[in-house]
Amino acid sequence: MCTTMSVPAFSHPPTGWHTINWYLVQRQVRGLQVRIAKATKQQQWRKVKALQRMLVRSFAAKALAVKRVTENRGKATPGVDGELWGTPESKWNAIVRMKRKGYKPKPLRRVYIPKANGKRRPLGIPTMLDRAMQALYLLALEPVSETTADRNSYGFRPMRSTADAIEQCFVNISRKSSAKWILEGDIKGCFDNISHDWLLANIPLDKQVLRKWLKAGFMESGGLYPTEAGTPQGGIISPVLANMALDGLETVLESQFGKKNTKASYKTKVNYVRYADDFIITGISRELLEEQVKPLVEVFMAERGLKLSQEKTLITHVSEGFDFLGQNLRSYNGKLLIKPSRKNLRNVLGKLKGIVTGNKTATAGNLIMMLNPILKGWANYHRHVVAKETFNYVDYRMWTMLWKWCRRRHKNRGYRWIKGKYFKSMGNRNWVFSGELGKGNFSRLTYTMDTPIKRHIKMKAEANPYLPEFEEYFEQRLERAWKDSMHGRNKLLTLWLRQRKRCVMCHYLITKETGWNIHHIVERVKGGSDKLSNLVLLHPNCHRQLHVLG
């Protein structure tokens, strides 16, 4: 580990945002979260409540909550009061304002975002203070939700992903002896309809604060509208509240049909996988799922104010195939194959076509800069499944779009001239779409076929990031993920491993979620080099703090 820098030691309380010792802050919060998780595991609910109260009152948790809401993607989006916390002074003052006594959340600012099916989804944007308060109480709630969560729930949970959910589906239905019938569950307006009474009675959180959030209402077209049910989509704490409302179904199914790999479960083969509000349940027959499993699910949902959509909740044989999380799972002559779904493929091609046709006068370099993030993101999402044939098709369609784009720009030029201007030879490829970005800098189009297919290693079902016994396991997974994502970026990976995966300022893990900056120990203007010996990785906030402190 790099030893040329050390954590600043503060012998007195911080006096401003940039004098906060983030190492001590993270340590104090983490220590309380571990204690909450342990107490939850032992079902010591009075102790959980006392520890949560201690956590939300602490300076460390408040500072961490402000840090989160001022560094995430929504930091520049104001609520109904128009307030943003962009300066160190406003962040520091925000910590002082975060008090339970007298706290009254403001209504959400209602906006609409487009969905894949052409419809619009309502999104509620809280004020900065309300976001920070939600982030504060989330620090106290998440250790509980992670400890009580369904084992095979994968959405909106730290370190879990859609790839884990898909891999669990593969485990459940890929063998010859596996269940062949699938109940595809679809909850009607899940986020909008969860019962407030159920949440207030069952969520282990300060009831007074939770009630205020649930009843805050929203502003739209200058009018104030009440909220009688549901969790506000857009609030930091909402996904965890929704997850906790849906947790427990796996236990209900196991109590009725037996745990996996037990005698009872072999008779019915009922297994459950959920990602957010999308779920599937396997079964040995259509009748079992229709007459026994589905009614059980409907009763469970009704207690929480929810209903299954009768049109979208389907029972399918695995030989017909079904779509789940943008991928199609289908058995071909007894062999289960998972491929990108047709709907998902249509959506990405539609998005790519919209960019190409909507930027007819853009330079080739700028067009590539717009296309590459979509191509890379889509290919990385599907890189764990049988996707090579689909990747090849996307690259072909991309080529036809770009060739048409080039021909339109140069109607009086021949094919050979157009190829020489826009398509270069690189490695084994002769038709690589390229463009200039500034003087001497060239960008090239990403080809999805170049994305290696690699089987995803599923998260252990019982793994809990708030329990010390899983600390090493999560670090190993993090290292594996970094090595996969840092392909071709050896310098960055070397720095990260040399620092034992941690920021040298605050000593906490550097992940894709936290982000990172590369810092020169001796600045380049003072003669510092770009050699590894002069570089360290820091969290963005730690990097700013270092430069402010000098």
Q: Are 191 and 230 in contact (CB under 8 A)?
A: yes
Sign of CA dihedral 260, 261, 265, 271: positive
Best CA proximity match to 339, nearest among 389, 377, 378, 380:
389
Cα–Cα dist 117/188, whole Å: 15
Mean per-residue pLDDT for 351-366? 94
Looking at the chain, the whole-number percentage of residues with pLDDT higher than 70 is: 95
Q: 388-409 vs 342-357: helix axis angle to the nearest 10? A: 20
Mean per-residue pLDDT for 395-423? 93
Q: Are 1 and 504 in contact (CB under 8 A)?
A: yes
For residue 164, the tally of other CB atoms under 10 A from its CB is 24
Give kind and range of the element (H or E) at residue 24.
helix 22-41
Comparing 48-57, 181-190, 444-453, 472-481, which segment has the lowest mean pLDDT?
472-481
- Give me the pLDDT at residue 299, please: 96
| Confidence grade of residue 224 (pLDDT, cut at 50, 70, 90) | confident
CA dihedral 143, 145, 146, 151 (to 10 degrees): 160
Q: Residue 387 pLDDT more than 60?
A: yes
Best CA proximity match to 520, nearest among 541, 538, 540:
538
- Give me the pLDDT at residue 4, please: 40
Q: For strand 218-220 and strand 108-114, is the pairing parallel, antiparallel, or unpaired?
A: parallel
pTM over 0.85: yes
| Confidence grade of residue 417 (pLDDT, cut at 50, 70, 90) | very high
523 phi and psi, to 5 degrees?
Answer: -60, 150
| Confidence grade of residue 9 (pLDDT, cut at 50, 70, 90) | very low
> pLDDT tens for residues 161-173?
999 999 999 999 9
**Beta-bridge mates of residue 549:** none
Strands (E), 158-286: 181-186, 218-220, 223-225, 271-275, 278-283
Cα–Cα dist 255/384, whole Å: 33
Best CA proximity match to 276, nearest among 321, 240, 304:
240
- Indicate the residue type of 221: S
